Structure 1
Amino acid sequence: MITRLSWLRAAAPATLMALAALAHAQALAPPEVPQAIKALAGENVVLRAHATGVQIYVCGRGADGKSQWTLKVPEAELRDDQGALIGHHAGGPSWRHQDGSEVSGKAVARVESPDADSIPWLLVSATGHAGRGVLAGVTSIQRINTLGGQPPPAATCDPVKHKGKEARVPYRADYYFYAPAGN
């Protein structure tokens, strides 16, 4: 005869596994974003990472000959929803996961951040991969929920006095990594 306690003991692991799977599926739902930076149909979120780091700008002259700060490279740590370090974001742009997988890409669409003092939201198309792991099959990356990262005012860049001077501007963002369904 099965007692209520033994039934609960038997059902508890399966229930917990189902709840964990549901929570994981909900955690990887695509975010609400403007149409211009939506991932392609048939792509699913495989990873969400929270970035904290800097956008590094260099003082120089633009094509028009005027003073400007130009993006050199981003440097950021990537963390999961629990705050654990899971990777790094660098120039290219590129992203490296702790499992050894990497993806690089090229921005294909952008929309201004709702916060005028923050860098734009982007849709990036993957252009290269290395290693095996969660980023190996990534085809698109979104940068959203940006905070900070805009270059300093152009007036603070004098190419004669400050040519090559770097400015490290703090920023935060969320990155969503997409791969084709079933990948």
Structure 2
Amino acid sequence: MKKMPIFAGLTCALALSGCSTLDNMMSDGFSQSELPAAIQVPAGNSVAMIGTVENGNVAWVCAQQDNGRYDWKFAGPSANLMDASGEQLGSYYGPPATWESVDGSKVTGKQLATAPAGEGNIPMQLVKANPAMGQGAMSGVTYIQRINLNGGKAPAGGCTAMAEGRRYISGYTADYVFWKAM
């Protein structure tokens, strides 16, 4: 099932201008106006690239929490980042959350904010990137946004003392927008 963009107005505006892919937004101007304020990238940054995840996975593990109850704990992502033509740009994995380009450069980062992305979906996210490791596409990345989500959530139940240590893999799709300082 193909995901629908959260910023539908932007997609319509792009379609009217002859631009139909996220990659083309870089040259036509990327507007964050329809994204929640909490995950908007500060002024002084511009879109460097956009990677789409079509068949990503989020791993969850059943574990006892500090309060003594059992619940699903985030164990890490695994996904390929693709461009609009279907070519692989890199991968996303963790922990720690790492975005790695096919050229070997990579970044990790610190989550600054999240915003709800709808029932059954992991949240939208804003990450402040750490300095890149290696030279290449990830060099100079300042922020990473996760938008246009579908799936990825932990199950609503099933995590008990009897299930402790059990892993659950949840499929998801998303777009990751990589920003660099202007």
Deviations 1:114-151 (Å, cap 9, x if unpaired)? x2111100000012421111111001000001100000
Instruction: Specify the SS of the correspondent of 2:108.
Output: strand
* Counterparts of 1:66 and 1:172, CA distance in 2: 30
Letter in 2 for 1:122: Q
* Counterparts of 2:123 and 2:147, CA distance in 1: 8
1:30–1:136 distance in 2 versus 1, CA, 3 Å: farther
**Pairwise mapping of residues 16-165 of structure 1 onto structure 2 (< 5 A)?**
23=24, 25-26=27-28, 29-31=30-32, 32-51=34-53, 52-91=55-94, 92-113=96-117, 115-153=118-156, 155-159=157-161, 161-165=162-166
Q: Which runs of 5+ in 1 are unaligned?
A: 1-22
TM normalised by structure 2 equals: 0.81
Q: Residues 110 and 122 of structure 1 are in contact (CA less than 8 Å); yes or no, is this contact kept in structure 2?
A: yes
Q: Residues 30 and 44 of structure 1 are in contact (CA less than 8 Å); yes or no, is this contact kept in structure 2?
A: no
Q: Residues 101 and 138 of structure 2 are in contact (CA less than 8 Å); yes or no, is this contact kept in structure 1?
A: yes
Instruction: Specify the SS of the correspondent of 2:141.
Output: coil
Count of aligned positions = 155
Letter in 2 for 1:149: G
| CA displacement at 1:64 relative to structure 2 | 1.3
Report the aligned-residue RMSD: 1.4
Q: Which runs of 5+ in 2 are unaligned?
A: 1-23
TM normalised by structure 1 equals: 0.80
Letter in 1 for 2:132: H
Instruction: Specify the SS of the correspondent of 2:132.
Output: strand
* Counterparts of 2:52 and 2:59, CA distance in 1: 18
